[in-house]
Amino acid sequence: MAKVTRRIFLTSTATALAARSLERSSAQRLTDPSSSGKSSAKSPAPVDSVRFQGRRGVHTERVLRSPPRDFQEFFSRERLSFVRATGLDTIRLSTSSAALTEGIDRNFDLLLGGVEALVAARFHVIVVVFPEPIDGFVDGPDGPQFSRLVQAEVRLARMINDRFSSADVALEVCNELPDRKTFAGKVPWPKQAPKLCRAIRAVAPELTLLVSGINWGELDQMLELRPSDFDANIGFVFHWYEPRVFALQGIPISANSPFEFVQRLPWPPQRGDYTAAVAEAVARIEASDQTPQKNPWSWDKEGFGSYYRRNLKTYFSTPEDGNHFDSRFSQVTRWCDQYDVMRGRIFVTEFGAYGDVPAPFNFVAAANTDRARWAQGCRERFEAAGFRWVWHNLDEHGFGMMDRETSKFDAELLAGLGLVMPG
């Protein structure tokens, strides 16, 4: 997710037949898998597709940090079966780069043990590496820090490739790289990423790799990657938190978000609601105790008010509704068509909108009904285009689809995501 929300949470069945038909009709098969004597997971992939089979997923913040955490509670069979019964087929499982670059065998064993439990529960798994620190690996392709990351991911990829089917497990090589300013004077990421992927491919010839652009994985930066620099078993990733004023509303300033005072923003936006939305946000600003010394932007109350007016004007007057989605996602489909990239190679490995957080935090954000409508609008367009998706996230406060304490799912959100309540 975007930078403002990552600071919170690092501290804290198949898709539609039409989409699958699109892939089958577009793919050019190298060989008939049945003639090779190998399992389908070990047979040559279509020249413009990936081996990994997961399509509808959820992210879990059970991050393998350094020192690592125990996965036992999350990976109980009962809990995994309960989540699987919704129709989700993929878990995006995160690990910090620090836990890998230490080279400690136990860290790798814990991570792969978690993957094994998920696969046994009939999930596909995306293992995603979170750079830690976030700007610690921008010295590639030959710098010492980037080289340590390459060595660690090569080791991890070799172990995944040897232990699991390529249909079941994929590796997302870097989550949400920082903005362009961080790369100033460095080799651009679109030139670093191919080297990382080639090094991994040398030891994991059948493992699907996923790669995103910079600026926290935003759509526009994915489009800066050149597909010809990557092999056909590599998918392309973007994260979707647009419109930001809706998706990130209510997140507290203490978590480096500017949208704390925007609450209960309706979806879809209606032009006539602008004046009331601004008035409510400004009233919350005036009632707050925020000062330039207490927030990351050194804004005063007038600064917040001006920022909100600009963002809310865009939200309501554009309006940033389903037509806005269509316009943005068509940029991706045109990119796919331009470079002959099969749309099943597009992975939205994070999308989500912030909801209420209960006591003791008592954050107010998007109403459940509006959040579910937003999710449905995104999800339907992803699936119609043939993109794969991962909701952010399972049970963290705010973004979760499940209450962590009660393990109860949000029924409206599940319906918006085309999923079902477990029986």
Q: What is the CATH code of the structural domain delimited by 3-23+48-243+325-355+362-404?
A: 3.20.20.80
Share of the chain above pLDDT 90, in %: 68
pLDDT for 13 equals 31
- For residue 334, pLDDT over 90 is answered with yes
> Which region, left, alpha or beta, applies to residue 30 given φ > 0 means left and ψ of -120 to 50 means alpha?
alpha
**Residues of the chain by 3-state class (helix, strand, coil), percent to 5:** 45, 15, 45
Which residues have a Cβ under 8 Å from the Cβ of 154 and sit 6 or more positions away?
199, 200, 202, 203
Position 283 pLDDT exceeds 90: yes
Residue 73 φ/ψ, nearest 5 degrees: -65, -50
The residue ranking higher by pLDDT, 360 or 293, is 360
Q: Which segment of 31-35, 110-114, 275-279, 293-297 scores lowest on mean pLDDT? A: 31-35
Please, are residues 90 and 123 in contact by the beta-carbon 8 Å criterion?
yes
3-class DSSP assignment, residue 421: coil
In 106-166, beta strands by DSSP E: 124-130
Which amino acid, 312? L
Q: Which residue bears the tokens 């994929």?
A: 170
Cα–Cα dist 416/420, whole Å: 10
- pLDDT per position as a tens digit, 62-89: 656 655 555 666 778 899 999 999 999 9
Point out which residues pair with 402 in neighbouring strands.
409
Domain ranges of the chain: 3-23+48-243+325-355+362-404, 246-317
pLDDT, residue 110, reads: 86
Residue (of 163, 179, 83, 76) closest to 127 by Cα position: 163
Contacts of 405 (CB under 8 A, 6+ apart): none
